[in-house]
Amino acid sequence: MSILISPSILNSDIGNLAGELDKISNADWAHVDVMDNHFVPNLTWGVPVIEAAKKYSPIPIDAHLMIADPDRWAPGFVEAGADSVTFHAEAVSAPIRLAREIRGMGARAGLALSPATQIDNYIDILDEFDMVLCMTVEPGFGGQPFLANVMPKVARLRDLIAKKGLETWIQVDGGITADTIAQAAEAGANNFVAGSAVYKAEDAAASVAQLRELAHKHSH
């Protein structure tokens, strides 16, 4: 499965959004974190920023919706130009209906699981999703330490996906750095979100290249 690096713009210089997106043109996806201060105790931005990111980004837009009632809001993010829309299992009412709606509009559909959420309820509906996001921090903030205890879930999910013959991507998000990416790659993740590690580095593109090399080295 291809290795994908998805820098999060959460802690970038958002006043210079176009320039910040240009810095990561060697990455695969630009990860945009939408937070509503209901599902998570933090507030970021919504549809207009996705539209702006889509307009200026050299790479596709990966919208991570940390919002209540994604059933109501997610389709608007596809309309705004998101190429992939991920909603949280803990927030959605009708995951199958919403995934089908997102896919029907031409975007990839992702299911996000917070660290304490297990995959058991979703095993039979994995084929409804293009990606499962296993959060490796509690959602809400950048710069938190990586939760290694999520790795058994990633490994189990990789095994289930392989047994079912699916192509589902496994994304990890939160605390991914040059020190932690190997564990996630070894467990079976193939899509790596990194916020602080990329945007706090002196050379964002070099950090993307380094993360990619490490993920390749440790994936199997």
Ligand X SMILES: O=C(CO)[C@H](O)[C@H](O)COP(=O)(O)O
Catalytic residue positions, numbered: 33, 173
Cβ pair 142, 195 in contact under 8 A = yes
Quick one: which of 85, 89, 151, 193 contacts ligand X (CB under 6 A)?
193
Given Fe ion, ligand X, none, residue 195, with its beta carbon under 5 to 8 Å by kind, binds ligand X
Residue 173 near ligand X by CB under 6 A: yes
Identify which of 19, 132, 119 has the alpha carbon closest to the alpha carbon of residue 84.
132
Taking the least distance from each CB to ligand X, the nearer of 30 and 98 is 30
Cβ pair 103, 94 in contact under 8 A = no
Residue 109 near ligand X by CB under 6 A: no
Taking residues 33 to 62 in sequence order and writing x for each that binds ligand X by CB under 6 A, - otherwise, the string is x-----------------------------
Residue 117 near ligand X by CB under 6 A: no
Residue ranges in 66-105 that form contacts with ligand X under rule CB under 6 A: 66
Any binding-site annotation on 196?
yes
Question: Crossing angle of helices 47-56/70-79, nearest 10°?
Answer: 30
Any binding-site annotation on 64?
yes
Taking the least distance from each CB to Fe ion, the nearer of 171 and 219 is 171
Footprint of Fe ion (CB under 5 A): 33, 64, 173
Identify which of 216, 26, 66 has the alpha carbon closest to the alpha carbon of residue 7.
26
Quick one: which of 14, 22, 117, 144 contacts ligand X (CB under 6 A)?
144
Any binding-site annotation on 104?
no
Binding interface with ligand X (CB under 6 A): 8, 10, 31, 33, 64, 66, 137, 139-144, 173-176, 193-197
Q: Binding site membership for substrate: which residues?
A: 8, 64, 140-143, 173-175, 195-196
